[in-house]
Chain A
């Protein structure tokens, strides 16, 4: 499988990366090189093998359904590029 420029542009859109044309041009062969290399996994017989989902044996923990955090609005907003009236502000989304 190899990716085309069109596909790379589509993936960039999915990833919300405004790549320049120069970046796209560079990325097409780089991605094909890397994807071509990882495709050697096709040689491995994985019939009947379960995909690994947890690297260590873990039991899902439960905790009491109580508030453990909160009342930290100002701390949450401390690093915001634009905070207004106790909210994160962003460019207008409704025309």
Chain B
């Protein structure tokens, strides 16, 4: 990392405003880092010219007036945000070459706030995966290595794997991710950075390629809690183009940051102590409890009795919604079309077989099955009922506490290829992340420490609906106490 690429967004913003460096210098250094980091396979498209154009605008504004909240800050955008004139392919062959003539609301807000785009970030195909290995562009390689002398290539997590790797490697100071069942939080934990999924409805879904619409939420990933607060303030806000967008004011989370947790009660759900989780992760959880106590919080044991049913519920609801959302990829209006077939029906089926990867097809099949005649009630309706109970669990828990602390993931980053042959083993990676998604609650991962092999482990904070501030504040309290300074040693 150069001097500039090692800085946080807050440091870049303030240093640029103080005249310590120009926006062009910042963009130039990050553009160079993108090129130097190609071995990580974190990007699907590089847009250095867009980063420079925004930087020049920022430099001009610094002289002429009219600075915006993110003037001088280059960022990366996950590939499933539609970006005007720039290929947006959601890591899939079926959208190869698709250049939207419009901009997603969230990426548009970031650009309107002055941010420049470094490029589009690699991801699991349609955000379906927990290791970035389902991408049509190939897996992202984590910048992290185990300290055992081996040279195993590790996953940065998924589905926002390119986003995670780019921040951890100092290639982008901040990025967008999306989280349907942990796709921001698990990768953030795997690479030792922070990431938050806000309350469902805070970020507009318009222009974000849909996976499971009742779960999908955009959110930021960055080096620390403050940077996440800065980005999220810009990303959120009412959008009439999204029917589930919340028409409420966006709080000033950065200004509200405080690591003093006096008067806050933090719940520790006993059902999250599950078999097979390494001792190191439970030990870090205990350490997190001690840190929050030290910050003034009161710790209470809580119960979320339906926790063990969250993953199976998710793996009915998410594929069901996906099978419906992905019906639009038919080779007619955009993306791939498989020719050489006789009928329109054959064209649909051939296009979809060629265009989708194995995991996406698997989920379309599960989703189609659980929605099909005769099985709808047994699977889909049942899952929606259990989802009600999971949401109720949280509502009852929040009568006794203000926040919930858990580990982010049940393991540290694993090696590429280790879990690809067993879909269920891969799904279990999101065991701690999925319940908050099903309940639409804000949830964040912050780095807590490293395991015996030197790999980052994350702590996970879940807040009440719309109470991102408490999540940020507890995240900050952990950040200050964890003193997490470990960085991936540069090998790329």
Q: Do A and B bind each other?
A: yes
Binding site for B on A (CB under 8 A): 1, 3, 7-8, 11-20, 23, 27, 30-31, 33-35, 37-44, 46, 49-56, 58, 60-61, 63, 72, 75-76, 78-82, 88, 90-91, 93
Determine whether the beta carbon of A35 is less than 8 Å from that of B372.
Answer: no
Determine whether the beta carbon of B389 is less than 8 Å from that of A44.
Answer: yes
Determine whether the beta carbon of A17 is less than 8 Å from that of B372.
Answer: no
Tell whether A56 pairs with B333 under 8 Å between CB atoms, given A11-B368, A37-B424: no
Residue numbers in B under 8 Å from A15 (CB-CB): 323, 352, 364-365, 368
Determine whether the beta carbon of B385 is less than 8 Å from that of A16.
Answer: no
Contact flags (1/0) for B282-316 with A, using CB distance below 8 Å? 00000000000000000000000010110011011
Tell whether A56 pairs with B345 under 8 Å between CB atoms, given A30-B362, A31-B365, A44-B309: no
Q: Which interface class (under 10, 10 to 19, 20 to 34, 35 or more) fits B?
A: 35 or more
Task: Mark out the residues of chain B between 427 and 480 whose CB falls within 8 Å of any chain A CB in the assembled complex.
Answer: 438-440, 465
Residue numbers in B under 8 Å from A53 (CB-CB): 384
Q: How far is the CB of A34 from chain B (nearest CB, A)?
A: 6
Determine whether the beta carbon of A56 is less than 8 Å from that of B200.
Answer: yes
Q: CA A7 – CA B300 in complex, angstroms? A: 49
Interface with A: B41-49, B52-60, B222-230, B238-246, which one?
A: B238-246
Determine whether the beta carbon of A88 is less than 8 Å from that of B382.
Answer: no
Residue numbers in A under 8 Å from B312 (CB-CB): 37-41
Q: How far is the CB of B134 from chain A (nearest CB, A)?
A: 14
Determine whether the beta carbon of A16 is less than 8 Å from that of B330.
Answer: yes
Interchain Cβ contacts within 8 Å, total number:
165
Tell whether A79 pairs with B353 under 8 Å between CB atoms, given A31-B365, A50-B388, A55-B440: no
Q: CA A6 – CA B454 in complex, angstroms? A: 49
Q: How far is the CB of A7 from chain B (nearest CB, A)?
A: 8
Residue numbers in A under 8 Å from B330 (CB-CB): 16
Determine whether the beta carbon of A51 is less than 8 Å from that of B388.
Answer: yes
Q: How far is the CB of B199 from chain A (nearest CB, A)?
A: 7
Residue numbers in B under 8 Å from A27 (CB-CB): 361-362, 365
Residue numbers in A under 8 Å from B200 (CB-CB): 55-56
Nearest residue (CB) in A for B360 is A17
Nearest residue (CB) in B for A43 is B309
Contact flags (1/0) for B308-337 with A, using CB distance below 8 Å? 110011011000000100010011111111
Residue numbers in B under 8 Å from A41 (CB-CB): 309, 312-313, 316, 382-383, 386
Q: How far is the CB of A48 from chain B (nearest CB, A)?
A: 9
Residue numbers in B under 8 Å from A11 (CB-CB): 365, 368-369, 372
Determine whether the beta carbon of A91 is less than 8 Å from that of B347.
Answer: yes
12 contacts between A and B (CB under 8 A): A7-B369, A37-B315, A42-B382, A49-B385, A52-B385, A55-B391, A58-B201, A63-B240, A72-B101, A79-B333, A88-B333, A93-B344
B341 at the A interface (CB under 8 A): yes
Q: How far is the CB of B277 from chain A (nearest CB, A)?
A: 19
Which of A55, A75, A93 gathers most chain B CB within 10 Å? A55
Tell whether A56 pairs with B246 under 8 Å between CB atoms, given A38-B312, A38-B315: yes
Determine whether the beta carbon of B465 is less than 8 Å from that of A56.
Answer: yes
Q: CA A16 – CA B368 in complex, angstroms? A: 10
Determine whether the beta carbon of A33 is less than 8 Å from that of B369.
Answer: no
Determine whether the beta carbon of A31 is less than 8 Å from that of B369.
Answer: yes
Residue numbers in A under 8 Å from B366 (CB-CB): 31, 34-35
Determine whether the beta carbon of B331 is less than 8 Å from that of A81.
Answer: yes
Q: CA A51 – CA B386 in complex, angstroms? A: 7
Known A16-B345, A18-B353, A91-B342; 15 more pairs at CB < 8 Å:
A11-B365, A15-B368, A16-B348, A17-B365, A27-B362, A31-B362, A31-B369, A41-B312, A44-B306, A44-B389, A55-B438, A72-B101, A75-B102, A81-B334, A81-B336
Q: CA A46 – CA B98 in complex, angstroms? A: 44
Q: How far is the CB of A75 from chain B (nearest CB, A)?
A: 4
Which of A30, A39, A51, A61 gathers most chain B CB within 10 Å? A51
Tell whether A14 pairs with B349 under 8 Å between CB atoms, given A44-B309, A56-B201: no
Determine whether the beta carbon of A51 is less than 8 Å from that of B335.
Answer: no
Which of B99, B199, B316, B330 gathers most chain A CB within 10 Å? B316
Determine whether the beta carbon of B361 is less than 8 Å from that of A23.
Answer: yes
B356 at the A interface (CB under 8 A): yes
Residue numbers in A under 8 Å from B258 (CB-CB): none
Residue numbers in A under 8 Å from B465 (CB-CB): 56
Determine whether the beta carbon of B99 is less than 8 Å from that of A17.
Answer: no
Nearest residue (CB) in B for A79 is B334
Nearest residue (CB) in B for A63 is B240
Residue numbers in A under 8 Å from B102 (CB-CB): 75
Q: How far is the CB of B80 from chain A (nearest CB, A)?
A: 16
Determine whether the beta carbon of B352 is less than 8 Å from that of A52.
Answer: no
B381 at the A interface (CB under 8 A): yes
Q: CA A28 – CA B463 in complex, angstroms? A: 40
Q: How far is the CB of B114 from chain A (nearest CB, A)?
A: 26
